Structure 1
Amino acid sequence: MRQEIIALYDEYTHKGMDRRLFMERLAALAGGMAAAAALVPLLEANYAHGAMTEPDDPSLTTERVSVPTDSGELAGYLAKPADASQPLPAIIVVHENRGLNPHIEDVARRAAKEGFLVLAPDFLSSLGGTPDDPDAAREMFGGLDMDQVTAQARAAIDWLAAREDSNGNVGIVGFCWGGGVVGRVAVAAPELDAGVVFYGPAPPSEEVASIQAPLLLHYAGLDERIGAGVPDFEEALEAAGKTYTLHMYEGVNHAFHNDTSEARYDEEAATLAWERTIAFFKETLAG
């Protein structure tokens, strides 16, 4: 798919463009409204298309949970190996700006199948929870208090660390909007044991010195919007002597790991980034 169409969709999903304007501009690029309509399913999420695990996978135990925080209950999806006999390292999976949807629950199950206790919180809980309509979910993110989100994530870290089925070590991985949350949490939470960012905006350079957890950073070579902040982030990490590994996946787009979006998903890059993520968490969160 032409890169200008990918860039337009990225602008639509991250910069508040309304759907009518998006379709008008897409039609101009595609050569007509009918052609634009045919492209939309390739751009938007198809949860069934991308699922890699089954919700009722017998090798896993899953449940809906509620995490107490100072700003109210944080709903979440918890997954772990069904046959776990020892406390497990724990991971928080932070969703994109579409909320806690079937794709993120699938990602949580993938991590659980690798031997982790995994919590995927719904950070739209304070606004009534993630709706079924992805566009409605996207519009809700402007109403979030990001300091409250950071505090809720820290409460989730404490909640996981204190569970009997946890070994007390907690990491966090986030995608897109969730990647930005990982940066904020890494700055604010000395209790965090490891963080992984998938193409999320970097925290302010002047706050990087507060980061204590080791970081694994995944970015997309064609992602000009997020990529613009990467050099300053890396410079700040180097200047502060932080432990991090940064991978730039050339020739792929923002959201390359999201296999529900046919136009942006890149199987090779996604597979490699996920393998690196699991290996990183196994190294940093071992008991």
Structure 2
Amino acid sequence: MPDTNNHIPQEAFDWYDEYAHGGMDRRTFMAKLGGLVALGYSMTVLTSALLPNYALAEQVSFNDSDILASYEKFSSPDGHGEGQGYLVKPTTEKASYPVVLVIHENRGLNPYVKDVARRLAKAGFVAFAPDALYPLGGYPGNDDEGRALQRTLDRSKIQHDFVAAANYLKSHPLSNGKLGAVGFCFGGYMVNYLAAVDSKLLSAGVPFYGTPAAKTLRANIKAPLMIQLGELDARVNKSWPEYEQDLKAAGVEYQMHMYKNAKHGFHNDSTGRFDKESAELAWQRTLSFFNEKLS
């Protein structure tokens, strides 16, 4: 009998990554997991490791006295007309703060990403986490439904919505005028895109396991970047060598951290992909980077 708690095969995580990014339907994904069950693995253990449990992801309570959270709308004339996001600010009284846009994965503004925004506010930043699914009623409370909904939206309009959100946050009355962005998976791609689509928009970007923007845009990048990658994330990592060449050609200040034995999604503490040591190191590096570049 396999040790199902500690030795879930990497292929199961690869299947989940393919399923989560549209390369495999749910029926096929579950059938493949069923094959592991036939080998002695528990379906309960497999699904609990692969699918999110958002009760595990709350590191900063929305009731924390050091922060204040609210939902704020912004105009997006080139996108879906109007967007909404989760704004979290410190309760200390200062005239201005460095500001950070927080960008979710390909499933809408789930509880994990909202908690990331609270973590940033707890660390002294004003954080804003838009929900790409706002035009469809917002994150539905279920990742599978969220992924399906996000696929129905026009990709270019989503990108315009995040540009609009970035401009909203950068010009916020509490902003010191320096904007950072951090994102995960799809959100990592969006950080790369924001840095490339408008060279004056970001002052710093931290994409976690995100693919680069279109090659034609990369020469526009001026903002310093901190690239966070997991060693076992073959799908995203194969884009890095060419992206690095283009960053060098454009004279971009960048650093890349590859986390040993870390999977795609290693920062997400609501799933079995979470790697506590790598996630904590990556997050401390992120905060230090933003403190340096946005102060």
Q: Secondary structure at 1:212's aligned position in 2?
A: coil
Counterparts of 2:155 and 2:192 in 1: how far apart (Å)? 12
2:53 maps to a residue whose letter is: N
Deviations 1:225-254 (A, max 9, x none): 111111111111112211111111121100
- Within 5 A, what are the aligned runs for 1:217-256? 217-256=227-266
Which residue of structure 1 aligns with residue 3 of structure 2? none
Counterparts of 2:27 and 2:163 in 1: how far apart (Å)? 38
Task: Mark the runs of 5 or more structure 2 residues left unpaired by the alignment.
Answer: 1-7
Higher mean displacement: 172-181 or 23-32: 23-32
2:85 maps to a residue whose letter is: G
Q: CA deviation at 1:144?
A: 2.4
Q: List, as ranges, runs of 4+ consecutive aligned residues in structure 1 with deviation greater than 6 Å.
A: none
Which residue of structure 1 aligns with residue 31 of structure 2? 24
Deviations 1:194-242 (A, max 9, x none): 1110001112333211111111100110001111111111111112211
Q: Secondary structure at 2:107's aligned position in 1?
A: coil
Which residue of structure 2 aligns with residue 125 of structure 1? 134
2:234 maps to a residue whose letter is: E
Which residue of structure 2 aligns with residue 39 of structure 1? 46
Q: Secondary structure at 1:119's aligned position in 2?
A: strand
Q: CA deviation at 1:42?
A: 1.5
TM-score of the superposed pair, with normalisation by structure 2: 0.92
- Within 5 A, what are the aligned runs for 1:35-184? 35-70=42-77, 71-184=80-193
Q: In percent, how many aligned pairs have the same letter?
A: 41
Counterparts of 1:222 and 1:34 in 2: how far apart (Å)? 22
Counterparts of 1:156 and 1:204 in 2: how far apart (Å)? 21
2:217 maps to a residue whose letter is: E
Q: Secondary structure at 1:91's aligned position in 2?
A: strand
TM-score of the superposed pair, with normalisation by structure 1: 0.95
Counterparts of 2:293 and 2:233 in 1: how far apart (Å)? 28
Counterparts of 2:240 and 2:153 in 1: how far apart (Å)? 25
1:242 maps to a residue whose letter is: V
Counterparts of 1:54 and 1:176 in 2: how far apart (Å)? 24
Counterparts of 2:39 and 2:140 in 1: how far apart (Å)? 31
How many residues are treated as equivalent by the alignment? 285
Q: CA deviation at 1:33?
A: 9.5
2:92 maps to a residue whose letter is: D
Q: Secondary structure at 1:83's aligned position in 2?
A: coil
- The 3 A distance-change label for structure 1 pair 33 and 68 is farther
Q: Secondary structure at 2:290's aligned position in 1?
A: helix
Higher mean displacement: 78-87 or 200-209: 200-209
Q: CA deviation at 1:37?
A: 3.5
Q: Secondary structure at 2:47's aligned position in 1?
A: helix
1:12 aligns with 2:22: no
Q: CA deviation at 1:32?
A: 6.5
CA contact (8 A) 1:62 1:77 kept: yes
2:203 to 189, 193, 199: 193
1:203 aligns with 2:203: no
Deviations 1:38-57 (A, max 9, x none): 31012111111121111111
Which residue of structure 2 aligns with residue 216 of structure 1? 226
Higher mean displacement: 10-19 or 51-60: 10-19
Task: Mark the runs of 5 or more structure 1 residues left unpaired by the alignment.
Answer: none
Q: CA deviation at 1:152?
A: 1.7
2:276 maps to a residue whose letter is: E
Counterparts of 2:170 and 2:216 in 1: how far apart (Å)? 29
